[in-house]
Structure 1
Amino acid sequence: MTTPRRATEADGRHGDPAAPVPPGGTSSATGAEPAGSATTEPGSTGPRSAQPGDTEPGAEDALRRRLGLRPRGHRLHPTARLWGWVGPLLVTALAAVLRLVNLEHPGHLVFDETYYVKQAYSLLVLGYEGRWADDVDPAFAAGDTSGLSTDPDYVVHPQVGKWMIAIGLRLLGADDATGWRISAALTGTLAVLLLSRVAVRLFRSPLLGSVAGLLLAVDGMHLTASRISLLDGFLTFWVLVGFWAVLRDRESSRAHLAREAAAEPAGTGGLRGRLGPGAGPRWWLVAAGVALGLATGVKWSGLYAVAVLGILVLCWDTAARRTVGARRWVAGGVLRGGVPAFVALVPTAAVTYLAGWFSWFATPGAYLRTWAADQRAAGEVIQPGVPDALASWWEYHRRMFDFHTGLASEHSYEAHPAGWLVQWRPTSFYWPEDPPQDCGAERCVEAITSLGNPVLWWLAAAALLVVGWTAVRRRDWRSWAILAGYGAMYVPWFAYTERTIFTFYAVAFTPYVVLALTYGLGWVTGVLKPPGTAAPSPPRGRRWFVHQDGDVAPGPAGWWVLTVVVAVVLLVSAFFWPVWTGQSVSYGFWHAHMWLASWV
């Protein structure tokens, strides 16, 4: 029987070592048979001889270690489980305060709220986006909605995000800015909790999970998107839900693979069948498909998340088969892992996206809803065999695509995506010509600037180098997961640099910016170790709030680095709070926040 190499603690913590464990391999860390491993007949007091079809005890746990999983039946220590929720819930409470306090200010439509809030109200009233009279924003803010007509309006984004805004309008009314923005604020708050829990699961560290949630809670890019009813905050949330579901699928599919591989009879020396076993039911990918379908139903950018996360799943499936010793692991990863994953993810996302147009299909008065029927009535040939509703829907999408690819009007705040990582040209959401003169200075201003916390974003840009290095050189799957977030929500914008695009679009990948910085902090402080490196044991006691395995203790220098970085980020966030929330301040105070000339 082939004996696998020594399995270190790092194998169980960090994922895919290069060397596979053959089915039936030994399970102890030294490669020796564990004590008491002989099989005992029911009712017998002694070991029996091995029988055909027996599997070696501990083989599944050995495979689970190699696949980055904990042993079967593992239960977190109650204190570790408690810390995994206490920290995230505390930072979520802070996020809620920052997003909900004084949410009604400014009391009129800000930036692109002029489109999305009024379109959300129209969906409630008409079931489709109706056309509004010109210069109707002041009247709408005062509660006068008479400017809405029944004529359909041509809009260029799907309806899911606007329906989410409409929930707040239904609950709190359209005559109060809190009603316009409550859905965005609550969604942003939930995103903080979700990211914090994602980081706990990704890094197995309640400390780093809490740090990640805290950084997102106080970041200006995410904060302003949560206090203004734009679509991008909803896109961010649903892509993050899909990311979380993909992480859960990685665990469940690998657990199934380990169980199937370990079921091979001891001593067979390989997996049954050249491609290896299937990955089992992919219900978490179905959940990811729903989430990413909703993301695409907010903005088409969600399509990139479907593609990138789908490729990530395929790569993980293929690597897992190599780890467990499948002879044709590439073909097995594609056929036994990739194809079922595609079926679970992509059609689900497509059906969910289509369902997001339910009110458009249900209301004949919607824009282009009867286009195909009208064309047929005029004698035109329209896609034989395709229902008129779907033909009209497809024509609408064709026109939306033409708009998005042809948008090239100049704007003073347009920004090339190359500068987004360092917030080179932030977007001004709000700058009234006649601000209140109540700041105690000769000239007062009110401003809402979609500017990420500069220290956070600049450090995260540096941490991204660490993430890239560990992904390539250390093959750290956590690094690849973070890079996938950038690949889905950031990299595609480089194909549209001729378009009019803005830095505030970067909110969609802000969670992965935070994860990159958190990863870098964990790597520098010693909370996280590169794959193949055993984690140190603490000199005394258990540090459950540092790591769920309770066996990591950063040195004094590590604690200082973590404390200083978090403290500086918090201080900078407090400094920028007035220009993230539209407070009335003196012009000199505002100008002191414009650290770069490109910010003005």
Structure 2
Amino acid sequence: MTFFRKLVPSFGMGMASVFLLSLALHFWGLSRFNTLVFDETYYVKYAYNYLTHTPLFDAHPPLGKYAIALGISIGNYFHFGQDTVNSLAGTELSPISYRWLNALTGSLLPLVVGGIAYQLTHRPSYALIAALFTTCDGLFLVESRYALINIYLVFFGLLGQLFFLSALEQQRGGRWVWLALSGICLGASVGVKWNGLAFLLGIYLIWICAWAMRWAQRGRGAEGQKGRGAEGQSPLQNLTRVNLLEILFYFGVIPALIYYLVWIPHLQINTERGFWELHQQILGFHERMQNGPKVHPYCSKWYSWPLIVRPVVYLYETASNTTEFVPSLPPLPAGTAKVIYDVHAMGNPALWWLSAIAILLLVGELAKRVWVWVTTSGNLDRSAVYFPGQKELWCVLYLVLNYAANFLPWIKVTRCTFIYLYMGGVIFAFLALAWLVERWLHSPRPRLRAMGVTAIFLILVAFVFWLPVYLGLPLSPQSFQIRMWFPSWI
């Protein structure tokens, strides 16, 4: 108990420090590029259309654009950054007005990830490492510094997962509140983009696995439960207390209702099509979209995402000096650039590559446990050691299934896809890496502790090294080139 009292203040200070770092990274120089960056060209205009009740067609659900519109409305009311404005969306807007809410959402994301990590293990050090890793990723930083919508999809999806995990620790009487909040957030995630359904799929998969394990244990008899008195308090056991009707209501009916409600303002503005007709039109748009560099130069295959084979350049401008107005249009003649401003939507290479290894290690660990459990039907004492007696199983199963739910469905997608579609999956890979690093740091073996420290050091160094292409800081051509390790990164 004395140790716990000493740990809580340091944990709180640690999480507060991570949040302040995240806040500074997201809000520093938010209005530096007084233009529409990448898909801001669409989303800021759509958001302004909602504010002016102008009809529009968008290939995604409208919630993300509502959020940008809300940011514009609040920003204009409080006159955020009115000294820097542009009229690229059809009216004079300051970049801060259409970016600040995204930046705030991105700043809060490490706290949500840390909350998930804590709910999984109740280990403050794991939560702190997971939050730090999320703060030190470049793709999440870039996506939330501009008026784009992927950050809302991930934020609502992870918040729904956090509420779901919180519900598992509640008694039946108080559980419904957290389950309802989870369903609302997951419906909101789908209301940003359809791939928000992956967060719902992850919950369904873990619930099915929990019930399958319970039935398998019953088949082996009561002897398999000996020596596992605390198992009744595990999240997997608590999950089987959620019955099918509750799952269907909280993770079927409620998300569907929220999703429908999200469309009401859009349908009131765009009266020429009904709900189902509009969805057929959107589905047809995605089905007709082809793949390859002719469609978009930064299309990338799903299997290339974990390795960061093809990141996306959101902004590239050249200038003769650091005081010249940016963006400079038209671009300077070839060979005359002295300063490069580049915004690369790419992950932290050290974090992404180590996370890819970590998720593979967890898949291997899970496969080993399942194999031992299946092949030891005659030795209940031995099988209990591997599956499902250890608390680590819950964390491994949760991370692997949610990663698979957010990543593997992209195998069947044939249209042009981009690396930012991996954001929902890679966050669970971050959690997997943080889980391993936290275990290594607490290991009695010096080599494992050194591995944990080295992993954190490499991630921090890599983040600082590539930070200029996340924030769009001025670089010399030589400094830019040393950060582009592969031709496919340019």
TM-score range, shorter chain: 0.7 to 0.9
Which residue does the alignment assign to 1:341?
247
Query: Which of 425, 432, 456 is the equivalent residue of 1:509?
Result: 425
**1:420 matched to 2:305:** yes
Q: What SS does structure 1 have at the residue aligned with 2:168?
A: helix
CA distance in 1, matches of 2:367, 2:456: 28
- Provide, for residues 323-378 of structure 1, a one-character-per-residue CA deviation record: whole Å limited to 9, x for no partner: 699989xxx999972232222221000001111113124x3xx33x244xxxxxxx
* Stretches of structure 2 lacking an aligned partner (at least 5 in a row): 77-91, 223-237, 325-335, 370-386, 388-392
Q: How does 1:167-182 map to 2 (within 5 A)?
A: 167-173=70-76, 175-182=93-100
CA deviations 1:259-317 (Å, max 9, x no partner) are: xxxxxxxxxxxxxxxxxxxx995433222210110000000111232223123123224
What TM-score, normalized by structure 2, do the two folds share?
0.80
The amino acid across from 2:67 in the alignment is M
Q: Pick the aligned partner of 1:576 from 466, 470, 488.
A: 466
Output the amino acid matched with 2:302: P
Aligned to 2:210: 316
Amino acid of the structure 1 residue aligned with 2:420? F
Tell me how far apart the structure 2 counterparts of residues 405 and 565 of structure 1 sit (CA, whole Å).
Answer: 41
Question: Counterpart of 1:107?
Answer: 34
When you count helix as a share of all residues, which structure comes out higher?
2
Deviations 1:508-559 (A, max 9, x none): 23321210111221343446xxxxxxxxxxxxxxxxxxxxxxxxxx554444
Instruction: Measure the CA separation in 2 of the matches of 1:500 and 1:307.
Output: 23
Aligned twin of 2:399: 482
Q: Any idea what SS the aligned residue of 1:447 has?
A: strand
- Structure 1 gap ranges (5+): 1-73, 131-151, 257-278, 372-391, 528-553
1:54-65 map, 5 Å:
none
Rounded Cα–Cα distance in structure 2 between residues aligned with 1:251 and 1:315: 18
CA distance in 1, matches of 2:242, 2:215: 10
- Change beyond 3 A, Cα 1:402–1:203: same
Q: In structure 1, what is the equivalent of residue 283 of structure 2?
A: 401
Quick one: distance in 1 between partners of 2:107 and 2:239? 37
DSSP-derived class of the 2:139 partner: helix
Once the two structures are TM-superposed, the CA of residue 78 in structure 1 deviates from its matched residue by 3.2
C-alpha deviation, 1:579, in angstroms = 0.8
Map 1:97-496 to 2 at 5 A.
97-126=24-53, 130=54, 152-173=55-76, 175-252=93-170, 281-319=175-213, 337-361=243-267, 363=268, 366-367=269-270, 369-371=271-273, 392-408=274-290, 410-432=295-317, 434-435=318-319, 437-438=321-322, 443-474=338-369, 475=387, 476-496=393-413
Q: Distance in 2 between matches of 1:209 and 1:304?
A: 23
Q: 8 Å contact 1:221–1:504 — kept in the other structure?
A: yes
Equivalence for 2:83: none
Q: 1:599 aligns to what? A: 489
Structure 1 residue identity aligned to 2:244: G
Note closer, same or farther for the CA distance 1:403–1:210 as it changes in structure 2 (3 Å cut). Answer: same
What code does the residue aligned with 1:405 have?
E
Q: CA deviation at 1:465?
A: 1.6
Per-residue displacement from partner, 1:243-264 (whole Å, max 9, x unpaired)?
1122223333xx65xxxxxxxx
TM-score of the aligned structures, taking structure 1 as reference length: 0.66
Whole-angstrom CA distance in 2 between matches of 1:155 and 1:244: 30
Deviates more, 1:88-97 or 1:290-299: 88-97
Highest Rg: 1 or 2? 1
Would the aligned equivalents of 2:158 and 2:199 in 1 still touch at CA under 8 Å?
no
1 CA distance for matches of 2:259 and 2:40? 23
Q: Which letter maps to 1:297?
A: G
Partners of 1:101 and 1:298 lie apart in 2 by 26
Amino acid at match of 1:344: Y
What SS is found at the alignment partner of 1:431?
Answer: strand
Residue 416 (structure 1) shift: 0.4
Q: Contact (CA 8 Å) 2:319, 2:338: kept in 1 or not?
A: no
Letter in 2 for 1:424: V
CA distance in 2, matches of 1:325, 1:246: 28
Task: Provide, for residues 40-80 of structure 1, a one-character-per-residue CA deviation record: whole Å limited to 9, x for no partner.
Answer: xxxxxxxxxxxxxxxxxxxxxxxxxxxxxxxxxx9993334
Contact 2:299 2:418 in 1 (8 A): yes
Q: May I ask how many residue pairs the two structures share in their alignment?
A: 425
Aligned-partner residue type, residue 306 of structure 2: L
The more displaced of 94-103 and 306-315 is 306-315
Q: Distance in 2 between matches of 1:175 and 1:338?
A: 49
**Kept in 1: contact 2:129–2:438 (CA 8 A):** no
CA distance in 2, matches of 1:207, 1:502: 33
Q: Distance in 2 between matches of 1:306 and 1:326?
A: 31
What SS does the aligned partner of 1:448 have?
Answer: strand
Cα shift readout 1:464-485 (whole Å, capped 9, x = no counterpart):
1211122232351211211233
Q: d(CA) in 2 for partners of 1:436 and 1:513?
A: 41
